Structure 1
Amino acid sequence: MRNRWSLTFGGLAIALIVLAAVAMVALFNARTAVRGFDERILPSVAKSLALSERVTDLAAAAPYVAEINDLPRLEREQSTLRQRQQELRALAAQLPPDSGSATGVTKVLSAMQATLDDLIEFKRQDLGLRKEGRERIQALDELESRVLHLPAPQRREADHLLQMLRVALYAHNVTDLVDAEQVYRAQLQTAPMQRIDAGMRAQIATEADNIFALRKQHLSLRDRKNVLLNAMRLLSEEVTRSVDRHVATLSAEVSSLDHSVGLIVGSGLIAVVVALLVAAAALALGFWSLRESLGDLTRVTAAITELSHGNATAPPDVTDSIAPRDNEVGALIHAFNVFRANTLSMRRMSADISEQRRLLRTVLDSIDDGLGAFDAEGRLVAWNPRFAALLHLPSQTVHTGATLDALRDALPPLAGGRPAVELLGAPDAPRQREDHLLDNGQVLAVRNHPMPAGGFVALYSDQSESRALERQVRQTQKMEVLGQLTGGVAHDFNNLLAAVFSNLQLLQSRDDLSPDMRRIVDRAFRASERGAVLTTRLLAFARRQALRAEVLDVDQMLTGLQDLVAYSLGKDIRVELDLQSRGACVLVDGGQLENAILNLALNGGAAMPRGGVLTLHSALCPAAPGAAANGPQGGTVEIRISDTGSGMPPHVQERIFEPFFSTKRNDGSGLGLSIVYGFLKQSGGDIRVQSAVGQGTAFTLTLPEAPAHSSPAAAPVRPTLSFAQMRVLLVDDDTDVRDATFEFLKGQGAHVRAVASSREAAAALDTQGFDLVLSDVGLGPGGDGLQLARDVHRLYPDTAVVLISGLPTDLLARRYAVPTDTRILRKPFLTDALVQAVAHALAPHGVDAPPLIASSA
């Protein structure tokens, strides 16, 4: 292939060299011919034509000179003609000396110059004669005037003189001077002149002779002028003929040169055609010899192009369409097939690596932990977005090649102002894990893992939420345990208070008590009431108290509470109302809500020892469009208790709802805000606090709004019920409570039978009929009050049942499976509560009436 291509290109090179040589020779000869034409012929033609034109102009100026009547203008025209003659001589001198025309033109120009000089000289003489003629005519005019003034006796002779003078004046303008002179001479001989002065006659004869002499000279010069003008015309024509001959000579030379150039171009074209034919033959021979090889190369190129465009499947193998050849093409095909196989293998490998890289980058970007990889020299080589976010690093500091020192300088400080060097490890540090508390309160877990090739990987996890969740779980567990303990204590305490309440009410009902004894009983009763309130607060803290839900107008409640709050806070603190709820109502235990507001108001008053303003604010907040409804109407009612006191620092705000946490050192149990928190949560509401040191504190209570058709509950009507002759079965495992209740019912005139267990109650029911069964829920081993109530309803439907218990609702549900809507009389109870519960149970269809959870005393 190389040899064939060398022969082809050699033939093409030779043909091109010959073509270039011929073209160069032809161009050189043409340039020489054109240069001779440009340098010699064209300038000579141009000069000859310019010479002819100026000679013609010069000949045309001769008649003009002949007609000039002013001597100064003649002088100027003579100067101009001389300048033109010099230019003509210069042009004539530039004609080629070998042309044969230069010498003749020069002679003619000399003759023309002599002729012009004669013409100018003639004109000077003519102007002189004209001047002299005018003088002679003036003299004749003066003589004529004198003759006209001759006296009358001389009139006849004067008339002959006038005729003679007029003939002389006429002779000045005629061309046939001989006839005019003969007429004049004849008059001169015949005219009578005897009476005319001889001097005048002599003067007239002299002037007339001068006129005839001047006219003869003038006519002679006119003939000379015509001769000179004809000579100028002839000389001009001679110059024109000489120029024409010279131009004809040049034309012949141009024709000869054109013929020579034609021969040169023709021979060049023949040589070019021959060279082109040789080149075409070389190209045809090369194409014929290389067509198959070029076709194979084209197919290989197409396959390589497809492979470069990513199409590795078509064509599958170029050897399928190319016949085997023992030349360079065959070697190229084999090399391409090997390259194609390697390319496909590398492409698959690259695709796998790219996919793994994308997967790794996706995983790194999606994990919540921050990751940073450092090489053995401590330079950053890889990271994910969480790495910079968790370490609070500026974006400009995190880049490939960033050093550990540069990153440490940009780290935020740890808690206590300690430097954050420990957040970034070292290339030679062992595997380790540490938790660090940042200055902003964030807990960051750092894990360093060394890499086998040197360097290490650092993982960063934000443990703030998990630590807070752990604290919340521990707090919840603590609250749950504390709530269970509180509920159990409240149950036992309620049983004790029930016995105390019942016995004290028995004492209060006696008429034989002395005033001192009645005061002692009243004090004991009030102490028992405070114990019941404390029990209620404990249950509120545990969120297990029985709430008496009622519809309450918030604005009316705050208005009625204003005086009590003002009296409790003292005269240095002003209590203001800002009522904006527009008559909104809430479904809540009114007593507990008033207790919560009073508790928060007392805390606000304690924060204002030097006086201030405490504001009770109410507002109605409609539900946002599309939001889930919080209450029956979807809106909420806010009650805000704000003061202008000292405020609370952030670390105190975080713990104010914890049980037993208090900022008071001398008094206070630390349960106030915990009980408020539990009450609001149990009522379906919430509480928020906003406080700043030196700017006061604001507690916001949020409760669901009551239904639109609800109205504030009226004061309950005291039921009228007589226990006289009523048959009552009292079931209670607590002896003190049973005996105290027994005494109360017996004192009311009822026939009471008291038992301690459900078995004894069942036996009593079998032997005797009862109007009312009053049973505790918890009856110890052998049964419970709920099962006893079910048996009574089933076996003795005419017997009413009232259940009593000191346990909260959730404990009743867990221990005895008591439904939450079951009517329960809470211990300790007052007489009115017992009478109301019994009256409701004994009412028509009382067993099927809606259950009521009665509140404790």
Structure 2
Amino acid sequence: MRPPLAQLAPPSVRAKLVATFLLLFAITLAVVIVGVLGMQANQRALDEYEANVVPEIARALELSDKVAQLAAVAPSTTMTASPDLLRGDTDLLRGLLADIRRLAPDPRGKSGADLEVLDDLDAIDEDLPRLLVVSGRQRQLADELANLRTVADRIGDSIARRKQIVAQGAPTLIEVWARTTGALQAADAAELGSAESDNEALWLQVHARGEDKREPELAAALQRLDGGARSVFDVRREFLASEAQTNYLVTLLRGHADHLSGKSARYVERLRQIAHERSEKVRRVALSSQSGLLLLAFAGVAVALAGVAYVNRILRKLQAMTRVMARLAAGDASGQIPSTHRPDEIGELARAFEVFRTNLHENERLTQGLEAQRRLQESVFNTMNDGVSVHDARGCLIAWNPTFATLLGCSPATLSRGMTLAELRRAIAPPARWRQVSRQTATHSADGVRIAASAELHIRDRRILEFHCQPLPDGGWVAVCRDLTSRRAVEAELMHAQKMDVLGQLTGGVAHDFNNFLVAILGNLELLLPRLAGRDDEHAMAGRASRAAERASRLTRRLLAFARRQPLQAERIAVDTMLAEMLDLVEYSAGLRTEVALAPSAAACWVEVDRGQLENAILNLTLNSVAAMPDGGKLTLSVRHGEPLPAMAARRSVVLSVADTGCGIAPMLLDKVVEPFFTTKAAGEGSGLGLSSVYGFVRQSGGDLRIQSAVGGGTTVELWLPASEAQPARAERIEAHAPASGGPLPMRAGARVLVVEDDPEVRETALTQFAALGAQAHAVASVTDALAWLDANGLVTLVLSDISLGASGSGIELAVQVTQRWPAQRIALTSGLPPEAHQGHPDWQPDLPFVPKPFDLATLAALLH
């Protein structure tokens, strides 16, 4: 037995929503089906249009084109003088007629009702042969007239040669010739008849006067033109008649062609109307499809709006339940949850919310947890490394952590709740100076004081505190204070390192240019000294200048070593020789108030370390010693052999010491001076990285560092390095010296040299040096000129190119191109910078000879061997 309707379960919210979505899906499917059917109908209409109308339009357009060609070609046949061209035009006309017959639609068909062209084609077929015959006859008559005109011209030439004789003896014959010539040009039959009657009268006067007796040959020639079987008048008359008939036939053909063109145009217009009707049909089908789609779309919108309204009612119920639950979560359990009586899911949810009434105790536990979190936050607040202070809208201090007081240098009892900004600033021990970092404003206090987003506080113990302020939603701000003293010291050291890097680059550039000057100075002095033989005073002066230039060259090499930027590489170094070479640079670094001395070494001391690092270590120690002697003093450099320290693995050691007579170091600080960032100088005057970097270099090189110092008794820093065996000079650089005998330098006979140098002084000096060696030298200033010179003059004994050629190119690039084009050509490179400075170039060839600037005659002679 079925239950009564009252006992049936009402549809659930889920069922209603599912039904709504299914209905929307059905409407969407109907939209798709209607759209597909409409597109299929449009496709069928377009296929019919393409199958029936488009071919007809194409045929009509081709027919119009053929008719236009026929109308253009038919009249031109009358102007064709060549028989071959006439036959070609005739064949073309016949082909066009055949094409027009082929393209003309069947008059029995419906499509050809407006294009009946057979009558016009038959008329053209009938008139065209007549036109061809008449035009052929006209061409024959034109040829005959041309022949008669030629004869008349010969007679005229004869009369012109005997003008006086003929004018006296037969003047009437001259008039006869003139009338005959005029007849050849007659434009119509009336003009021709008048000329013929005048000619007959003139002939009567000729016979009456006996002029034909006096000029029998002239009279006979004119008689043949005027009275022969084909007289001038007869031929001209036939030509005019043929011309009139030709014009008539051409006009007739043009009329037929125009008639055909009109019919073709009307046929195309009819096809356009048919195309328009088919287009209207397609448009009606499209409109029908659009109407169906719009109807279904309206139905879908209606269903969607009904679904939205239903969901809105459900959401209002849920919002009411949410408000009650919010009060319940806040501890208010007096509210009643609505909709608990509903039999659907909303009612189930409302009844489930009733459970929350039993969870008030859980809220208490949550409150306890929040209290624990507050204590944790307070603990973090009090133990932060940064100082934090909170100010109200009037600028009064309302909260702070202990670090805030510590950074300000105030005792915790000094700060109190409610302190104003003015009182807080007075609590900081003077001198204290504020500096604004950011122009942004965090907020303003109640009395209008601007609070910057970022600011710095410089206090008496040379500490720098950075403050960052953020506004609070209810007024006031939070300030975070951080100590920047250490970071600023590191930044100062970084800035100092950058300055040193720029100084190194500048030093390298100046030394490179100075080497170019030294090439000209030393080269010309070397060439000048032999010429001063026997002149002792001049020779001595030139010798002093040469020695001074040599010392400048050695100084330049030291500057280049200071400024070099190549990767660190260990090499064998004679430390005593290196100290002697560095002495002038150490003296410059020490200043005028410091006496620098180099103790002599008992034997050569060799080590294997990076030379640049060792030189920097000596300069670092020099600067530390100078700083310890502000009023001047003595700085002593020495090197000796010694037994290795226990921490060293070497069998022998070299001890390099730097001793000063400065203030010394306190014993309690000796163990700390090599620690990074440790310094006894004032804040901002030193980074504390000098000795630590020296110590790190020595330890990485397998050695150790020792410091001996007494307060007021000076300081001695010793660098203990593993000793190494001696090493001869590097082979890749060409180092040659003049023979002791002072005789001529040996070289290859007949040597030819090409010098590539952009500096004119260096270029001229090198040419003079090679000439002194007996070589034939040429010079260019750029890569392009060098390649062009080799192309024009062939290979030479040697190409010597500077690496830095300015804007004109690079000697390294020149070497690559010369090697590719002339593999047998020898090439050497020269530069005022060491070869390590150029090894980063991607085309650098380490096997090429390298000549450092400045070079001398012996070095150039060695290149020519």
Q: What is the TM-score of this pair, normalised by structure 2?
A: 0.41
Larger Rg: 1
Q: What is the TM-score of this pair, normalised by structure 1?
A: 0.42
